[in-house]
Amino acid sequence: MAKQAFSSPNAPSPAAKYSPAVRKGNMLQISGQVGFDPSGTLVGDSVDAQTRQAFANVSTLLAEAGASIDDVLMLRVYLTDPGHFAEMNAAFAEYVTEPFPARTTVYTGLNPGILVEIDALAVLD
């Protein structure tokens, strides 16, 4: 079974050698998405704005592969500061519905200015 890569002109291009999304069989992995708009510009300096853009990028890549947020089983969120959790969580709640996907939140270092990164694992029928 071959892997199939997906990208979109409506999501930022990767800065390195990786695929924004990869599907093999019914599994779809979305690479970590940050708060860059499709032109590659960071959308703002708030966790709210960057979380919303990261979700827009994830959603765009899911759609490109024939999926939606409803197909996501697992989301991983990477934050630079534990103090940003509540703001990220409020924006996050606007994008997911019950039954909610599983989620892991990790505090880590990201490139300067980037406050949040989100990746997703989806299973397609």
pLDDT per position as a tens digit, 60-117: 999 999 999 999 999 999 999 999 999 999 999 999 999 999 999 999 999 999 999 9
First to last CA, the chain: 16
Residue 125's pLDDT band (boundaries 50, 70, 90)? confident
Helices (H), 25-69: 47-64
**Burial classification of residue 55, based on how many CB atoms lie within 10 Å of its CB (0-12 exposed, 13-18 middle, 19 or more buried):** buried
Q: Could you give the CA distance from residue 59 to residue 83 in angstroms, rounded to a whole number? A: 26
Query: What does pTM read for this prediction?
Result: 0.96
Q: What is the pLDDT of residues 10-41, one digit of tens each?
A: 999 998 999 999 999 999 999 999 999 999 99
Q: Which pLDDT value is given to residue 26? A: 96
pLDDT of amino acid 108: 97
CA 124 to chain centroid: 17
pLDDT score of 15:
86
Which amino acid appears at position 7 of this protein? S
Domain architecture of the chain: domains with CATH: 3-123 (3.30.1330.40)
